A and B are shown apart, each in its own frame.
Chain A
């Protein structure tokens, strides 16, 4: 059975305090792993797609990495505007995204 588990469930950071979010997955034949950011009451905003183990992608203060069993989203020197829920999703068939439950990040000024 396909599973996507994100940890921690919630994370509070001081502004400038770097940390990592984890996404562990079990899926037969990974086609792609996606990271999204979601603000309350809004639609998910695309961040990254990773396709194969060893791949890394960066955007501003965020860096996503992928291994055969998990992905990490590293946040360097976060700012209050980085506060959001970060969702990991795997594609388990053409166009079929399966989401993890997310990590709710709060960055305190």
Chain B
């Protein structure tokens, strides 16, 4: 089973709202990722957690705040977003041992009004 789940599937929020995206995997993976994908563009890495510690932050604005409460769960807290932040947000996970395959979830389609 290589399933990564993400909730919600769709989210519409105003620029003053606070919301959270959730990602879950039960494959025993110890690395989890957030990517942002704009229309007709490839996924762009935002954050990497390995063993529940933030290991990569690709210079993402502070209005995006990641959290990894345990090895199976990854959250992305959103606050004061801009319309240009509207995108498909993808979560992925992998074993953390060298070059590991990343398995992606279905994504959350975010629209910021």
- A residues sitting closer than 8 Å to B (CB atoms) are 31-32, 34, 36, 41-46, 49, 51, 87, 89, 91, 94-102
Contact = CB atoms under 8 A, between A and B. Distances in A.
Contacts of A43: 4, 6, 90, 92, 104-107
Interface in B70-113: 88, 90, 92, 94, 96, 98-107, 109
A44 B43 CA distance: 9
Contacts of B101: 34, 46, 49
Given A95-B50, A96-B48, A44 B99 contact: no
A35 to B, nearest CB: 11
A95 B104 contact: no
Given A95-B56, A95-B94, A42 B48 contact: no
Contacts, number: 60
B42 A101 contact: yes
A99 B43 contact: yes
**How many residues of B sit at the interface, in one of the four size bands?**
20 to 34
B48 A102 contact: no
Interface of B: 2, 4, 6, 31, 33, 41-45, 48, 50, 55-56, 88, 90, 92, 94, 96, 98-107, 109
B56 A44 contact: no
A58 B16 CA distance: 49
A62 to B, nearest CB: 16
Nearest to A91: B99
A97 B37 CA distance: 13
A75 B10 CA distance: 33
B106 to A, nearest CB: 5
A87 B48 contact: no
A31 B99 contact: yes
13 contacts: A32-B99, A43-B90, A43-B106, A43-B107, A44-B43, A46-B2, A49-B101, A51-B99, A89-B42, A95-B102, A96-B48, A100-B42, A101-B41
